[in-house]
A = this chain, B = another copy of it.
């Protein structure tokens, strides 16, 4: 079965002078973010069952820099140990609620800043399952790290990681009448070639390749915070997640903490966190996926079209934080505040508007600010 989706984005940027200087490392032109439009994601996937206990997914993204890049490419074998399943291939490693939330179902255009630490898609094997009452989920995986855009990793010197995540619904009165979710995750990563790099754009990404006749300006949104390559023995990642919903309101928050064991330098501690909330003006509740322990999408009660509805309208806000500065690591600290408006025309089409205010503290250039105005059109099938 063929499935897929795309996201067409447009964005405008405003930066103070010190922000341009910071991003351009002293050069105002090199740090001048350009307005633009592009496809953030464009994916085709084959998904289905190969046998009564074996399912598969083969998904490619044509908009990512790999052009195309490997996304979910895995086979699942059901009920390998009890009711627990085994997944082999490339998939999203179990760590964090934001990372496990489907990218088609995000409340904002991008995941929150602490996502920079997430191992996310790597090639490996995972066991996962949930309790019979679907109040608890668990998953644990082992993988090669870091996996490149085509799903490969090589290296004798390290190159392995493990991840685990577990969640519990402490209150479950159904999607509409109240949920309270608690979760935690852990990863140990010994990267190939003994180096890691953490960085993040300010929760927006627009890029272009090869279009303009004369390429004079930055072709993509530059990272606001960036550790550069850091020589490490290994990294320990910790994650704690909290979420709740009731009626048209939903909220979630996570804290992520990276304990980076440097080679030849002291260990550093890099924290991140976010809090977000959404309120559906038209009264719908956001769905919750009990198999995976994450929120799903907002489905309008009355879609635009022959049903004659106005779809679902949602307002949302988020604060997120990422600190990549500690000891000799001078990656910078970033705070983002986002306001969002989402229009769900029908269960498979939505428009999104985000205003993002980014407050950067760079250890060399000091404080600076930027504003982003962005829109997205998304359809999935």
Contact = CB atoms under 8 A, between A and B. Distances in A.
A38 B150 CA distance: 8
A191 interface: yes
A322 to B, nearest CB: 18
Most buried by B among A1, A36, A62, A154: A154
B209 A58 contact: no
Nearest to A49: B381
B209 A150 contact: yes
Contact of A62 (B60, B154, B213): B60
A29 to B, nearest CB: 11
30 contacts: A6-B56, A6-B58, A6-B89, A8-B88, A8-B90, A34-B155, A35-B155, A37-B144, A37-B152, A38-B150, A38-B151, A39-B150, A46-B381, A51-B303, A51-B349, A56-B381, A66-B210, A77-B345, A88-B377, A89-B377, A146-B212, A149-B211, A152-B208, A154-B207, A154-B218, A154-B219, A155-B208, A155-B212, A156-B217, A214-B229
Contact of A305 (B42, B52, B124): B52
Nearest to A123: B37
A73 B42 contact: yes
A67 interface: yes
Contact of A213 (B77, B197, B216, B304): B197
A209 B68 CA distance: 13
A54 B349 contact: yes
A153 B213 contact: no
Contacts of A144: 10, 36-37
A150 B63 contact: yes
Contacts of A89: 6, 8, 39, 377
Interface residues of A, number: 90
A100 interface: no
A53 interface: yes
Contacts of A216: 193
A327 interface: no
A192 interface: yes
A346 B39 contact: no
Nearest to A54: B349
Contacts of A68: 62, 67-68
A212 B157 CA distance: 11
Given A154-B219, A195-B213, A349-B54, A159 B46 contact: no
A306 B53 contact: yes
